[in-house]
Amino acid sequence: MTALRLNADMGESFGPWAMGMDEAVMPVVDLANVACGFHASDQDHMRRTVQLAVSHSVTIGAHPAYPDLMGFGRRSMACSHDEIENLVLYQIGALSAFCRASGTEVGYVKPHGALYNDMMNNHDVLAAVMRAVKAFDPALALMVLATRDNHPVRSLAASHGITLWLEAFADRAYDSGGHLVSRREPGAVHQDTEAIVEQARRIALGEPITTRHGQDLIMEASTLCVHGDNPESIAAIQRIRQVVNPPASDA
């Protein structure tokens, strides 16, 4: 079984509007993808989320997005490659300030929403993101989607001197190439807790999952994304933790 680190999107509240259940999720995960103000969050929520992560010894990652608060970062935007590089760099820097104020640092970068999907479908966009990561700190890891064939992404990362963390999703449907089915399509997000836990188990064991068209898909992943926006999700995360990283035997 692969020891998968659990990651979750955090700090996505904005002003008086609350999003997610960060206090319940943070103790269960290993990695916190902290929103940086472009798709969600603000300076107050960013700082509180960083402090919460530090209190639970959770590694903090920047979760940059297109500047799309109205659309929660889930709409592609016509940004040039230079603009993408700069907006990612800007957001890493903002989160880094709050990390430094709490005696810690940004450990990795995971783009959000449409930017994440765009970089996985367009290597020019991915290269722009990689340039931003390298410009800020070449030691930072970049989290990318684990697909059926990771060689092209690995080759691009090697050319930029970037470390990759391959990510899988417990609650998302996949197409035949190992890409996420668009949220605009029915069935893109699994709702059944048992199905979510079983997909996590299969990914951790290196067993095939079934794509939406019925093909087998085996993914090489080092981290698993989980979501915690309601009490049922919290219970699922706790079960996923037990499945992918069970406690050591006393024997």
Give, in order, the Cα–Cα distances in Å from 193 to each of 2, 28, 30, 79, 230: 21, 17, 21, 37, 12
In a domain, 75, yes or no: yes
In a domain, 33, yes or no: yes
- For residue 251, what pLDDT is reported? 36
For all residues of the chain together, what is the average pLDDT? 92
Query: Angle, nearest 10°, between helix axes 81-101 and 43-55?
Result: 60
In a domain, 251, yes or no: no
| pLDDT-wise least confident of 148-162, 164-178, 186-200 | 186-200
In a domain, 249, yes or no: no
The residues near 249 (Cβ < 8 Å, ≥ 6 apart) are: none
In a domain, 35, yes or no: yes
> pLDDT digits over 207-229, tens only?
999 999 899 999 999 999 988 76
- For residue 182, what pLDDT is reported? 87
- Which domain range does residue 51 map to? 5-244
In a domain, 40, yes or no: yes
pLDDT of 148 above 90? yes
The HSE-up count of residue 226 (CA atoms within 13 Å, CB side) is 36
- For residue 1, what pLDDT is reported? 55
Q: What is the mean pLDDT of residues 115-136?
A: 97
Q: pLDDT grade, residue 243 (50/70/90)? A: confident
> pLDDT digits over 64-96, tens only?
999 999 999 999 999 999 999 999 999 999 999
Amino acid at 102: S
Q: What is the mean pLDDT of residues 194-216?
A: 92
Q: What is the mean pLDDT of residues 35-42?
A: 97
In a domain, 250, yes or no: no
> pLDDT digits over 98-118, tens only?
999 999 999 999 999 999 999
In a domain, 232, yes or no: yes
- For residue 250, what pLDDT is reported? 41
Q: Number of folded domains in the chain?
A: 1
Q: What is the CATH number of the domain that holds 223?
A: 3.20.20.370
- For residue 249, what pLDDT is reported? 44
What percent of the chain stands above pLDDT 70? 95
Nearest Cα residue to 120 out of 169, 161, 193, 72: 169
